[in-house]
Structure 1
Amino acid sequence: MRRAVVEYRGWKEGYRCGYCASAQGKVSAGMWAHSMTVQDYQDLIDRGWRRSGKYVYKPIMNQTCCPQYTIRCQALRFQTSKSHKKVLKKMLKFISKGDISKAVSEEEPMDSHIEDAVSCSFVHRSESHVSEAELTPLNEDHADVVENEDEDKGETKEEVNVKKAELDSLQICGDKDAAVPGEPSPSTKTVHAPPKPGKGADLSKPPCRKAKDIRKERKLQKLLQNQRCTLEGSPLQAEHQALLLQSSKSTTNQPKSIEDFIFVPLPDDAPHKLEFTRFLCDSPLEPENPPNGPECGYGSFHQQYWLDGKIIAVGVIDILPYCVSSVYLYYDPDYSFLSLGVYSALREIAFTRQLHEKAPDLCFYYMGFYIHSCPKMRYKGQYRPSDLLCPETYVWTPIEQCLPLLELSKYSRFNQDAKAVDEDHIKELGRVRVLHKRTIMPYSVYKKRRKGPSDEASVQQYASLVGQTCSERMLLFRS
C-alpha cells in the first residue's frame, strides 16, 4: 500500500509578499513531501494546500496580508468568453494563415507567491531544441490578459469607440445664435443627417451584414433549392423545409465550444504546425494507473508546445482523481503575442474535458489561488463557472457569491451557515500516523516512546491543517 511521507516544517511568517510588497506580511505553513499519493494531494488542495516542487504549503488565511483562495473552474460547464475567443482565433489564424500581427497586449505579473525553494527563471538549452531561447515562467498561473475589453458590456474598447463615433456623427449641433421659439436650444438640438464619408453609419441605407451571415443564408437557399427539386409535388415538401430551417437556426445560434476552436481541422497548406507532447516529470506525486482512470494515468506531467519543430512553451500539470491542477507555465517570450498563458489554460480545460470521458469523476480544472486583494490577480475569476474554497469550512462556493464579501473584507468566510464547521477537523490526535525509525505507529504510541520535550503542539498544528483523514493516511516523519 502506497503512503505519503511528509515532514512538517511549521509556520513561516514575517516575510515579503510579492502581491502587496509588504516586507513582513506573508504567513504560511509548509511541509516537505518525500512522496505523496494523488488522492492525498487531491484532499490537501481541497483544504487550501498547494505544491511548489516537493514543498507543499498553505497560506494562513486570516493572518497573511494577501489571502489566497483556492479556485477551481467547472470544466464541463465552461463557456469561452469574448476575450478567450479572441485568443483562440488569434492562434488559429497564426497557424492556418501565418498571420504574425503582434497586437500589443500586457500580461499580468507573474504569480510571485511561490516559496523561496523555487527558482523563477531558467534558460532551456537541452535537447528540447530551444536555441538559447529563454523560457519565461508563469508561476502557477496562465497570466496573459486580453486587454481592451469592456467587462460590463462584453465589448472591446475599439467597438465602443466606433459606436461613440457613429453616435457623435448623428448629433449635429445647430448655430448657437439661431434660436427658434418653442423648440430646444440650438446648442442641444439634434439633427439627423447623412454622415460624411468615413464618419459613421448612413441611416438611409440598410444596416451592414456580416459576410458569414450572408454565406449561411446563401447556403441555406441552395439547400432549399435542392430539396425543392427532389420533393416537388410531395406532401412532405413543406415539412422538410421547416425542419431544414429549424436545424439551420439551431446550428447557427448554438455558441461555439472550446473544442470548436482548438480541434478545428487545418488546411493542408497551413504555414505552421502546432504539436503537443506529454510526459511524466519529477514530482512528489506517485504515478498511478487505475483501470477506471485516464489512459495517461494520474501524476505530474509536462505538456510541451511545439511550433514547427521548436518548443515554445512547457506547462506543468497534476492529473488527480477529480481534477487537472495547473502548476506552472514556461514560455518563449518571442511568442508572447500569441497570449500563450491564456491559450494554454484553455487547452488544459479542453484536456480536462477529454479526460472526463474516461474518468467520470475528473471534471474540474484547478487554477491555483485567486487573490482578490490584488486587482491584477483577479483575472482567474474570468474562467467561469468557477468556485472558491471557504477557508473555514472547506466547502466550494460559486465565485459570484464570494465577490461581494471580498469587496468588504479581504479575508472572508464564504459559508453563510453559521453552524457549519470543518467536517474533517482533527478529532483524535492520537490516531495521527507517524513514521519513526522506519516504523509506522499512531502518535499515541510514539508520544509514549518519545524522549525529550513534547512535540504535541507541532503535531496538533499539522493535523488541524491537513485534516483527520489525511493525518491518518499520510506518514508524519519524526526523527
Structure 2
Amino acid sequence: MAGSNSYTIVEYFGGDDGYRCGYCKNDKGNFSHGMWSHSMTVQDYQDLIDRGWRRSGKYVYKPIMKKTCCPQYTIRCHALNFQPSKSHKKILKKMSKYISKGELPTAQADGEPMDSVCEEAGPREPTKVCQSDLKVVANADIKDEVPNCSAATEVQKNSVDSTAGSSENSQNDSTSVSEGGTDAKASKPGLGADPSRPPCRKAKDLRKERRLQKDQKRQHGAGISLAKPANTNQPKTLEEFISESLEDNSSDRLEVRLVRSNPPSQQFKASFDASYQVYKLYQMAIHKDPPDKPSESQFRRFLCDSPLEAEHPPDGPEMGYGSFHQQYWLDGRIVAVGVIDILPACVSSVYLYYHPDFTSLSLGSYSALREIAFTRKLQKQSTKLCYYYLGFYVHSCPKMRYKGQYRPADLLCPESYTWVSVEQCIPLLNNSRYARLNQDPDAGDSQAVKDVGRALVLHKRTVMPYIVYSCKFKGRSDTAEVQEYASLVGQDCAERILLYRS
C-alpha cells in the first residue's frame, strides 16, 4: 500500500479521570482511554476502530466499557446488503418533494439524524500535550459533543391497504345486500352467480394489474421491449430510490461534492468559509452555543484536522484513502456537510452538520443513506471496502438506538473484538448496559498482547522496541502504562505504531 513508509505516531494519555457524559448528562460518569495522534496510516486507524477506538480531530479515544455510564459499541452496516426501510423511503420522498416543488415539510422530520447530529458523547479534552522534538502541538480543544436529537426512532405508521371495492346491486328482484353484513331484506331464492358476467376480483389485485399495465405502456413508449412482465416483487435498490428523488426537471438542484480535507484540496479551501458559516449556524441553533464558541480555529481542530495520511494505492478507490468532507450543495449553496474517513475496509462517518433552515428535511438520515450508496460505489473500485461505520451505538440512550435500523448491521464485542449481529445483541443489552456480545466462551481476542517488549517506541527521533528502550532507561517506571496501551491497540498495532516517549 502506498504510504507504507509512513508511521503512526501517538502519545497515550490513559483513562483515569471521568468527564461529562453527553448521553445521560452525568458530570463524571464517562470514562475513556485517549491518545493524541501526530500522524496515522489508514490501515492503523482501520485496525483501531475495529478495536473500539474512534477519532475526534486528531484525538483518538476508546470508551472504558465496563466503567463508563453509557457503554458505546462500535456499529457497522453491511452496505452491499442494505435495503432501505419504509422510514428511509419516506426521507428520500421528502427530499424529492422539496427538490421538485421547493416546499419544505411543515412538521419535524420523521427520520432520525445520523450520529453526526446525535453526536457521540465525545472524548475528554486531553490534559497532557507533548513537548516532543517532533513538533509542538497546541492543546486540543476537543469538543464535548452533546447529543441533541429529534425523535429517537422514526414513527412508522402502519399503512392499511383499503380494499374498498364497488358495491354491486343485485339484479335479482332488486334486493340490496349490505357489504360484509346480512341482507337488508330477506333474499329470495335465485339461480346463483350470473355465468355471463366475469367473476368478482379484489380491488387490490385490480390496482396491481393497472399499475403493471401502466409500467408496460411507459416502457414500451420509451422503446423498451418486454419479453416478460416486470417482476413487481423485486425490491428497488437504494440507488434507484435516490435517483428517483433527483428528477431532471427539479427547480432546485442537489449536488454532492467530495473534497479532501487533509491535506486540504483547492476545492476545500475555496469553500472553507461557506462551510464554516453553516457549521457556526448549526452549533448555535442546534446545540445552543454562544456565537463566540464555534470559532474558526475550533472548527478546524474539530472537523478539518485529521491525523490520517492521504494514500493512493493502485487497488484503492479513485480519490484514495484519508479524510474528506462531503458537501451537499442545494440551489448553489452548501446546506449540509458530512465529515467522513475513507479507509481500506469502510467509509467511517465522523460528523454531520447542516443549515438550520433545512432541519425538517432530516438531512442527518438522508446523508447516511447517501453515504451508504457512496460506500457501495467505492466497493466496485476496491472490493474490500464494503462496510459503513456509523460510529457508536448506545443502547442505554434511546435517542441513539436508531443506528440499529441501518441493517444488516453488527456490533463489536468489547471483549473478543468480533462482530455480532444487532439482532443477537439487543436482547443482551436489554438486560444489561454492558454485555459481552459474543456468547462463545472460547472466543478470545486474537490480537491480545503476547510480548509487550516488541511494541515500538519513539525516543529522541529513534525508533526501537520497548524492550531495548526499557534496558536503556531502567530507572523509568512506565511498564504498566505501556502494557495497558499495547493491550488496547492490540499486538499487531503495537508493533507498527510508534509510541512517543519523552
Relative to the length of structure 2, the TM-score reads 0.74
2:415–2:444 contact (8 Å) kept in structure 1: yes
The partner residue of 1:369 within 392, 397, 419 is 392
Q: Does 1:86 align with 2:111?
A: no
- Give the aligned partner of residue 228 of structure 2: 244
Q: 1:146 to 1:437 in 2, by over 3 A?
A: closer
CA contact (8 A) 1:139 1:328 kept: no
Q: Say whether residues 1:458 and 2:481 are aligned partners.
A: yes
**CA apart distance, 1:21:** 2.0
Matched, 1:345 2:368: yes
**Partner letter of residue 37 of structure 2?**
A
Moved more, 339-348 or 372-381: 372-381
Residue of structure 2 equivalent to 1:294: 317
Q: 1:410 to 1:438 in 2, by over 3 A?
A: same
Asked if 1:469 corresponds to 2:449, the answer is: no
Tell me the distance in 2 between the aligned counterparts of 1:462 and 1:272. Answer: 51
RMSD of equivalent CA atoms: 3.2
Aligned equivalent of 2:68, options 64, 70, 79: 64
CA deviation after TM superposition for structure 1 residue 96, in Å:
2.4
Offset of residue 387 of structure 1:
0.3
1:283 lines up with 2:306 in the alignment: yes
Alignment deviations for residues 195-254 of structure 1 (CA, whole Å, 9 cap, x no partner) = xxxxxxxxx9963689786343245479899x9xxxxxxxxxxxx99x523xx2x1x221
1:115 is aligned, of 117, 120, 123, to: 123
Say if 1:139 and 1:329, in contact at 8 Å, map to a contact too: no
User: Any gaps of 5 or more consecutive residues in structure 2?
Assistant: 127-142, 165-178, 184-199, 262-304
SS at match of 2:17: strand
Contact 2:470 2:476 survives alignment (8 Å): no
Code of the residue aligned with 1:262 in structure 2: it is I
Residue 216 in structure 1 maps to residue 212 in structure 2: yes
SS at match of 1:149: coil
Give the strand-richer structure, 1 or 2: 1
- In structure 2, what residue type is equivalent to 1:60? I
Residue of structure 2 equivalent to 1:9: 13
Which of 93-102 and 4-13 deviates more?
93-102
The Cα offsets for residues 68-91 of structure 1, whole Å up to 9 and x where unpaired, read as: 000000000001000000001111
Task: Assess, with a 3 A threshold, how the Cα gap between structure 1 residues 338 and 434 changes in structure 2: closer, same or farther.
Answer: same
1:255 matches 2:278: no
Amino acid at match of 2:488: L
Counterparts of 1:349-428 in structure 2, within 5 Å, are 349-428=372-451
SS in 2 for 1:253: coil
Counterpart contact for 1:13–1:25, Cα < 8 Å: no
The alignment status of 1:46 with 2:54, answered yes or no, reads no
CA distance in 2, matches of 1:139, 1:273: 32
Task: State the alpha-carbon separation in 2 of the partners of residues 380 and 462 from structure 1.
Answer: 29
Q: Distance in 2 between matches of 1:291 and 1:25?
A: 45
TM superposition score normalised by structure 1: 0.77
CA contact (8 A) 2:119 2:148 kept: no
**What is the rounded CA distance, in whole Å, between the counterparts of 1:384 and 1:269 in structure 2?**
33
1:387-407 deviation line (CA, Å, top 9, x unaligned)? 000100100011111111111
Aligned residue pairs, count: 403
- The structural deviation recorded for 1:146 is 8.4
Which residue, out of 149, 152, 158, partners 2:155? 149
Instruction: For 1:149, give the aligned amino acid.
Output: V
Does the residue aligned with 2:380 lie in a helix, a strand or coil? helix
Distance in 1 (CA, whole Å) between partners of 2:144 and 2:208 is 37
Deviation of the 1:48 alpha carbon: 0.4
Q: CA deviation at 1:269?
A: 3.3
**Aligned residues of 2:30 and 2:70 also touching (Cα < 8 A):** yes
The answer for the alignment partner of 2:41 in structure 1 is 37
Q: Tell whether the 8 Å contact from 2:19 to 2:124 is kept in structure 1 after alignment.
A: no
Contact 1:142–1:341 (Cα < 8 Å) also in 2? no
Give deviations 1:408-441, integer Å, cap 9, x for gaps. 1111111122122111011001100000000000
2:153, 2:56 → 1: CA distance?
29
Aligned partner of 1:232 in structure 2 is none
* Cα distance in 1 for residues equivalent to 2:216 and 2:238: 26
Letter in 1 for 2:353: Y
**Runs of 5+ in structure 1 lacking a partner?**
119-136, 151-155, 167-189, 195-203, 228-239
Q: Residue type of the partner of 2:155?
A: E
Amino acid aligned to 1:207:
A
1:323-351 Cα shifts (integer Å, max 9, x gaps)? 00000001011001110000000000000
Identity of aligned residues (%): 57
Distance 1:452 1:222 in 2: 82
User: C-alpha distance in 2, partners of 1:63/1:210?
Assistant: 60
The residue type equivalent to 1:88 in the other structure is L
Distance 1:385 1:141, change over 3 A: farther
Change (3 A) 1:24 1:97: same
Offset, 1:256:
1.1
1:14-25 aligned within 5 A: 14-25=18-29
Q: Residues 372 and 105 (structure 1 numbering): CA distance in 2 closer, same or farther, change over 3 Å?
A: same
Deviations 1:354-412 (A, max 9, x none): 00000000000000000111111100000000000010010001111111111111111
1:333 to 353, 356, 374: 356
**Does the residue aligned with 1:425 lie in a helix, a strand or coil?**
coil
